[in-house]
Amino acid sequence: MSLKIYNTLTGKKEDFAPIKPGEVKIYTCGVTVYDYNHVGHGRSLIVFDMIRRYLRYLGYNVIFVRNFTDVDDKIINRAKNECLPFSVISDKFIKEYFDDAEKFRIEPADVEPRVTTHIPDIINFIQKLVDAGYAYEADGDVYFSVRKFKEYGKLSKRSIDELLAGARIEPGEKKKDPLDFALWKSAKAGEPYWESPWGKGRPGWHTECCAMIFKHLGETIDIHGGGLDLTFPHHENEIAQAEALTGKPFARYWIHNGLVTVNGQKMSKSLGNYITLKEIYSKYEPDILRLLVLSVHYRSPLDFSWDKMEETKKAYERLKNAIEEAEVLNKLPIEENFEGDLYNAVQKAQSGFYSAMSDDFNTPEALASLFGLVREMNILRDKAIKHGGISKKALESYKEAAKTLHDIGRDIFGLFDSLQPCVKQEEIKAKEKEESINEDLIQVLIEAREKARKDKQFAIADLIRDKLAEKGIILEDTPFGTKWKKA
């Protein structure tokens, strides 16, 4: 089954074929770290996490890069208001980002580049554009000459005339043409800056992604992604810079996720409907937001409301219960005169799931296939309970159905992390008990090693450390005592 992807650049669904067989290079524009992540960020993260997981499921080696914009007007303004260095703000919100990502099981990217650690790459990139005649310096700023890139507007389907109607040269800007955009901005008093061939300054937003992509992925990538609001001007400007320089396509497929409204309104702080990811997981299991996001096609608008979270929670419980009830059926007596099994239903659900996913990641259709299987599972369960027993074949088919739901949900949708299907509760408890005994024993050994070190019996202390290392337990001596971790 071939994968079809809607490409914003061509406005069509196309068969997906990566540049290098078996490998997919993806870049998505990450967050500007000046505030807590909201549900709009959450949607984009969940969508591209799903796309990455699905491509991996199809057997591709996926290389995924997502950046942090860690110097920008918004960060600088917040830092000024709070009388802090800008890096304190960006570091704080990068940490918040990782907390959120972990909660919602957004897999870390393979590379997570920050602007401030890529300044030489960015300067180098801008210099090449200046040398090639596509960019010019004006009083410490550097601008890109939009009119020199003949295909400008091809992603967002805008013409130069249309763009001119809305373009202005703001007071203080030194560009030659209102269409031009800044690649490098000279530093104003009190702002962070880096030395460059054009004096002290910092990069413009549109350039960082190009420089990071060239550095970490190459001049042409397979998929470039982001929210729909980034299509213009951000992605249009990325294409102009990259393709002006190389003459090659910058990204083969452009994927944009739809935007999020809250109760039908645009989300904004002034309307008081700004929903952070923190607030969501203080009220609901993170899985519920993942399921809500995946229940809408990624290109459609998504309207968030707490009522929808509540509805989604019920749907989630149905999925989860169907998986967990394999245990209930497991306790029923085996009755070989019981008719029926789920093998056909499992096959139907799987083929429905994968054909929907391969049609431009149609997650709502894919979910409908899974819920179809849940319905069949519930019918079989009710019948078995009424019958007072179940055949071996039917029981095994139910377990197979539960495992299918669980594994697809976990591997492709990132759900059910805490759920262990078809494992008896006693086994889970026994495992937990075993782990806690092990932890107590490690603590005893750490204390014994400390005593040995105090008594200058270093050979014994080292022996304890080495023997634990052999078992995969690494000891770390810190100013606050010895800590341990699994290797």
Contacting residues toward Zn ion, per CB under 5 A? 29, 209
Judge whether 422 is annotated as a binding position.
no
- In angstroms, what is the minimal distance from the CB of 190 to Zn ion? 27
Judge whether 238 is annotated as a binding position.
yes
Q: In the chain, what is the greatest distance between 2 CA atoms, to the nearest angstrom? A: 88
- In angstroms, what is the minimal distance from the CB of 29 to Zn ion? 3
Q: Is 29 or 62 the residue whose CB approaches Zn ion more closely?
A: 29
Determine which helix (DSSP H) or strand (DSSP E) holds 226, and give its type and residue range.
Answer: strand 221-227
Judge whether 387 is annotated as a binding position.
no
Nearest to 110 by CA among 235, 252, 217, 255: 217
Answer whether 254's CB lies under 8 Å from 7's CB. yes
Prior bond of 233 cis (ω within 30°):
yes
For the chain, how big is the Rg over CA atoms in Å?
Answer: 27
- In angstroms, what is the minimal distance from the CB of 447 to Zn ion? 52
Q: Is 209 or 319 the residue whose CB approaches Zn ion more closely?
A: 209
For the record, the structure tokens of 450 come out as 């400390």
414: left (phi over 0), alpha (psi -120 to 50) or beta: left
- Considering Cα of 6, then 11, then 12, then 17, what sign does the dihedral take? negative
Nearest to 236 by CA among 161, 160, 176, 301: 160
Separation of CA 188 from chain center? 35
Q: Is 209 or 322 the residue whose CB approaches Zn ion more closely?
A: 209
Judge whether 210 is annotated as a binding position.
no
Q: Is 231 or 397 the residue whose CB approaches Zn ion more closely?
A: 231
- In angstroms, what is the minimal distance from the CB of 240 to Zn ion? 13
Q: Is 185 or 465 the residue whose CB approaches Zn ion more closely?
A: 185
Judge whether 118 is annotated as a binding position.
no
Q: Is 29 or 292 the residue whose CB approaches Zn ion more closely?
A: 29
Q: In whole angstroms, what is the distance from residue 17 CA to residue 24 CA? A: 9
- In angstroms, what is the minimal distance from the CB of 129 to Zn ion? 16
DSSP SS3 for 250: coil
Cβ count near 241 (within 10 Å): 25
- In angstroms, what is the minimal distance from the CB of 274 to Zn ion? 23
Q: Which residues are annotated as a binding site for ATP?
A: 269
Q: Which residues are annotated as a binding site for Zn(2+)?
A: 29, 209, 234, 238
Q: Which residues are annotated as a binding site?
A: 29, 209, 234, 238, 269
